[in-house]
Amino acid sequence: ECFSLPVTAIGEKVFYMFAYLKSIRLPARLREIGRAAFAGCSDLTKIDFPMTLESVAQEAFVKSGLTSVFFPVNVVSVGEHAFFGCSDLEKVRFMGKDAAIGPGAFAKCALTDIVLPENLTELQSEVLRENRRLAALHIPKTVEAVWEYALADTGLISIEIPEAVEVIAEGAFANSPRLESLSFGSNVREIGPSPLSFCPN
């Protein structure tokens, strides 16, 4: 427990590969969680972020044992591959409106439910790739681009692309065997190669 310490940042790889770490109480003034800080903490199933948290760096929780994650309103950045390979992670909630989410941030998880930031502008490459249990997703109306393989290998049944989207990149929805319908607005000006490859339905 480090709740009483005046710590505002947890640095790179501080708890890296602490496979036996089962619980931690974060400092009340914490603003940043560094790169790979909790990567490989496979026994860590729950973590409560303080309201002061602003950023989670790349690979911060790679292959950890987390089952759900709730980001407080002050979080503005979740880095590349931050939660990659969290095979027990089912639920994610962003309480704030303006967070940016890096490429592959939630790839290869077990998501069944995710609430994205209301003002999100991009679905970065591979951001939700290989979430095969994810059957439904609300894409914020502010999203302007769906990048490479952003929603590939999912369990999505239907996808409604907001009117603001201009770019749908390569393989954006590929290999989604349950996908039955896709709709998008008149602002789309570019569709990359094979966005629906291996989507038999």
178-195 pLDDT, tens digit per residue, is: 999 999 989 999 999 999
Long-range contacts of 92-98 (CB under 8 A, 24+ apart): 92/68, 93/68, 93/69, 95/70, 95/71, 96/71, 96/72, 97/73
pLDDT-derived band at 4, boundaries 50, 70, 90: low
Residue showing tokens 């890296």: 16
Q: What is the largest CA-CA distance in the chain?
A: 55
* pLDDT for residue 6: 81
> For residues 77-98, b (16+ Cβ closer than 10 Å) or e, as one string?
bbbbbbbbbbeebbebebeeeb
What whole-number distance in Å separates Cα of residue 175 and Cα of residue 199? 5
Q: In the structure encoding, which two tokens stand for residue 89, read together?
A: 């992670």
- Nearest CA among 138, 70, 65, 129 for reference residue 99: 70
- Nearest CA among 94, 52, 54 for reference residue 70: 94
**Interstrand relation of 100-101 and 77-78 (parallel, antiparallel or unpaired):** parallel
Q: Is the pLDDT of residue 57 over 90?
A: yes
- The tens digit of pLDDT for each residue in 91-147 reads 999 999 999 999 999 999 999 999 999 999 999 999 999 999 999 999 999 999 999
pLDDT-derived band at 2, boundaries 50, 70, 90: low
Residues 197, 174: contact at Cβ < 8 Å? yes
pLDDT-derived band at 56, boundaries 50, 70, 90: very high
pLDDT, average across residues 82-97? 97
